Structure 1
Amino acid sequence: MKAHFSVILFFVLSVSFLSFSYGQNTESESAYEFKIVKELPHTMAKDQGRAGTCWSFATTSFLESEIMRMGHDSVDLSEMFFVYHAYLDKAKRFVMRHGQTNFSQGGQAHDVMNVIREKGMVPEKAYSGIAYESEEHNHAEVVAMMHGMLENLDKQRQKMPLWLDALTAVMDVYFGVIPATFQWNGKDMTAKAFQDSMDVNPDDYVELTSFEFYPYYESVNLDIPDNWSFDNYYNVKLEDLIQTIDYAIEEGYTVCWDGDVSEHGFNHKKGFAVLPTEEVLEDESFLSEIAPEKEVTKDLREATFMSQQSTDDHLMHLIGTSQDKEGNPYYIIKNSWNHNSNDFQGKLHMSLPYVKAKTIAIMVHKDAVPSILRKKLNF
């Protein structure tokens, strides 16, 4: 997971056919120039800092857009409220499974929904999740302490019931105690009451993936380390996955995107992600001019996933569509590496081949799934 946070909140209304040039980049000249086709309302890119919790930042950003889509004012949600509860749930599973499960900073979009279902949600003003002296999130030390506690606890043949209190105490020192109530618009609110006031129903959201080694159009356990809760995803064909993304954006729904950003063609600084052919990669001409990209098939997806060339190393928020000057389609992606992490408000343009090859999974509102596919999936 990656790093960098800014808490100022605003949203960008849908814009059509605006363009800006990557020739303005201060590092080097670039021929990329994008025309925005559709950009949906979203909040400002925040900074996950030195915390591997992109899953919470991406899903929280996704929910902030959902709240606006449902007619509410823009709201800044607390990412660390979800992270705090997820750490506790991971710890419980780690102990119950005798250390034979994943305890790390990573996670998935459904981790946020699972917390909302049980605990609700809170605004950033109610819980920042930073009780240490820092302006940015930094989980290296607290996770090392928790992991050390859990690993040594696992060696004990018998465990006192106090261990969870001890772990919670460590988290409270670093993140702060989560308030039972907080002020919102002049009223005392609980996390569940705040959730209800924002009309967020976690059962309205589904996750889709696409791999041939799973049966198509069935609910499957996506076997990746960060799916520590063993939640299920609907497995669909690649064309269904892309069609769902396109349909969602066209109908006014954003998408929570989970995928691989380790490719050389992923360049957040320059504001684009492309999948150049091997010849283009060698001379790096794609950095300064639009270049040929790989033809992506389900076999290529399968091969790169099984070889672990493609992993779920980052979650981001897909908020719209764009085109380069040759008319090639792209998706507008909001990252969590700070509003000032590049010259493009912390966003980038991801090519269709990159999305086809490197998407591990997506989360969308159920109504953002085309009706024909919904019938196949029986929801």
Structure 2
Amino acid sequence: MKNILFSALALCLALTAAAQTPDNNASGYAFTDVKILPTTPVKDQSRSGTCWCFSTLSFLESEIIKAGGEPMHLSEMWIVRHSFMDKAEKYIRLHGSLNFAEGGASHDVTEGIKAHGIVPFEVYPGLNYGTEKPDFHELSVVLKDYLDAVLKASESNKPLSTAWKRGFNAILDAYFGELPETFTYEGKEYTPESFAASLPIRMDDYVDISSFTHHPFYTRFIIEVPDNWMWGEVYNVPLDEMMAIIDNALEKGYTVSWGTDVSEKGFSRTKGIGVIPEADLEGMSGTEAERWGKLTDKEKEAALYKFDKPGKERTITQQMRQEAFDNFETTDDHGMLIMGTATDQNGTPYYKVQNSWNTVEPYDGFWYFSKPFVAYKTTSIMVNKQAIPKEIAKKLGLK
């Protein structure tokens, strides 16, 4: 098993290293990787809305590597299954006034490990319903309908039965498989709690960061997004400091768990990129500017989002971020892992990101996002506290 894991890591590193030379898979863009941090291989969340878990466990797996531990694949469905149970209890306590869905956040993973421990993927794949990859199209409906039926039965002012949790847990057992109390890994016997304690990382070392003006900077607040069912808090910093934290983390060899919005027109699945383009009027000749001025709004938009070559991007401000969040233009719809830096053929910097949508083209499951995209569309990040610049950490009261 150990050899398999090292081989998988070597393959992953080989794939990322392969892009050290310009890559023209995406027409018009040629990326050269600048700094690539070790990660475990790209995974596939398939038909499940659990990117938050896949991205955060990939983040923790990279943290284990950085701390000198052996590469390993931690069980996503261990966390997801426990999350469903914890979420169900809160959903019932709030009489259904909670977003009970597949989504979540990075702190769901770290808090879940604190509460329930963790196991390797081999110990608990959590695929007990006939597919080789996660598929929640039936599961989510079944779980929600069960809880709603429990709530409906309580409308008669009768107390909840003592059976509803056992019933819900039985459904989880049926779909995910029964939870092991002990297991053997690499020749040693563990409980989920003792395995978590054996890892060279500690969940208290990780914090969530965001940047919005509807709360004071350098304070903590419960980020108001539907998937934050746990009501987890983030540290609030100005935009330039949030970006400085990302850059400092990568420079020091720490990856970043990234919550973002990929519903933007500037995100292209087929091209493997995310940008926030803007018309370069100053760079246009008189004839080009005149031609641009005659285009309809629809034609201008089509021209901006052709992804045929790198171009000018918008300068992102704190106000722009806030307005997009307040207007629901920025939503918490995806989680990924920022694990490196790159440049395009013009020398413009990008972040290299590992996704959990399998090893798809054009970059084998990795993506490139411009700094303006990350500045504009980040909902929150999770980082190791040691990755935060000291002057910012001091403002946040972190040690």
What range describes the TM-score normalised by the shorter chain of this pair? over 0.9
Determine if the alignment matches structure 1 residue 260 to structure 2 residue 251.
no
- Find the structure with the greater CA-based Rg: 2
Determine if the alignment matches structure 1 residue 9 to structure 2 residue 29.
no
Partner of 1:165: 166
Alignment of 1:39-188 (within 5 A): 39-155=36-152, 156=154, 157=157, 158-188=159-189
* Residue 386 (structure 2) aligned to one of 367, 371, 379: 367
Q: State the 1:269 CA deviation.
A: 2.5
SS of 2:382's equivalent?
strand
Partner of 1:326: 346
Measured at CA, do residues 377 and 285 of structure 1 come closer, stay the same or move farther in structure 2, by a change above 3 Å? Answer: closer
| Residues 242 and 356 in structure 1, CA contact (< 8 A), matched pair in contact too | yes
How much identity, in percent, do the aligned residues show?
A: 38
| Separation (CA, whole Å) in 2 of partners of 1:283 and 1:222 | 35
Structure 1, residues 112-163: CA drift from partner, whole Å, max 9, x if none? 0111111111110000010011122111211111101111211213211210
Q: State the 1:277 CA deviation.
A: 2.0
SS of 2:31's equivalent?
strand
Aligned residue identity for 1:64: E
Aligned residue identity for 2:21: S
SS of 1:20's equivalent?
coil
* Residue 337 (structure 1) aligned to one of 357, 369, 372: 357
Gaps of 5+ in 2: 1-6, 280-296
| Residues 256 and 337 in structure 2, CA contact (< 8 A), matched pair in contact too | yes
| Residues 277 and 305 in structure 2, CA contact (< 8 A), matched pair in contact too | no
| Separation (CA, whole Å) in 1 of partners of 2:323 and 2:103 | 24
Partner of 1:348: 367
SS of 1:337's equivalent?
coil
| Residues 22 and 345 in structure 2, CA contact (< 8 A), matched pair in contact too | no
SS of 2:367's equivalent?
strand
Q: State the 1:16 CA deviation.
A: 11
| Separation (CA, whole Å) in 1 of partners of 2:231 and 2:164 | 24
Structure 1, residues 247-273: CA drift from partner, whole Å, max 9, x if none? 000000000000100111111322211
| Separation (CA, whole Å) in 2 of partners of 1:243 and 1:115 | 28
Aligned residue identity for 2:29: Y
* Residue 312 (structure 1) aligned to one of 332, 335, 359: 332
| Residues 223 and 234 in structure 2, CA contact (< 8 A), matched pair in contact too | yes
Structure 1, residues 272-305: CA drift from partner, whole Å, max 9, x if none? 1111126763314641111221121111111111
SS of 1:140's equivalent?
coil
Determine if the alignment matches structure 1 residue 378 to structure 2 residue 397.
yes
Partner of 2:29: 32
| Residues 64 and 70 in structure 2, CA contact (< 8 A), matched pair in contact too | yes
Partner of 2:21: 19
| Residues 208 and 234 in structure 1, CA contact (< 8 A), matched pair in contact too | yes
Determine if the alignment matches structure 1 residue 357 to structure 2 residue 376.
yes
Partner of 2:202: 201
| Residues 338 and 346 in structure 1, CA contact (< 8 A), matched pair in contact too | yes
Measured at CA, do residues 172 and 344 of structure 1 come closer, stay the same or move farther in structure 2, by a change above 3 Å? Answer: same
| Separation (CA, whole Å) in 2 of partners of 1:202 and 1:161 | 33
| Separation (CA, whole Å) in 2 of partners of 1:285 and 1:263 | 11
Aligned residue identity for 1:19: T
| Residues 255 and 363 in structure 1, CA contact (< 8 A), matched pair in contact too | yes
Partner of 2:310: 290
Deviation larger for 154-163 or 230-239? 154-163
| Separation (CA, whole Å) in 1 of partners of 2:361 and 2:171 | 35
Q: Normalising by structure 2, report the TM-score.
A: 0.89
Alignment of 1:204-243 (within 5 A): 204-243=205-244
| Separation (CA, whole Å) in 1 of partners of 2:90 and 2:247 | 37
Aligned residue identity for 1:9: A
| Residues 16 and 39 in structure 1, CA contact (< 8 A), matched pair in contact too | no
SS of 1:33's equivalent?
coil
Structure 1, residues 322-341: CA drift from partner, whole Å, max 9, x if none? 111111110001011002x2
SS of 2:336's equivalent?
strand
Aligned residue identity for 1:291: G
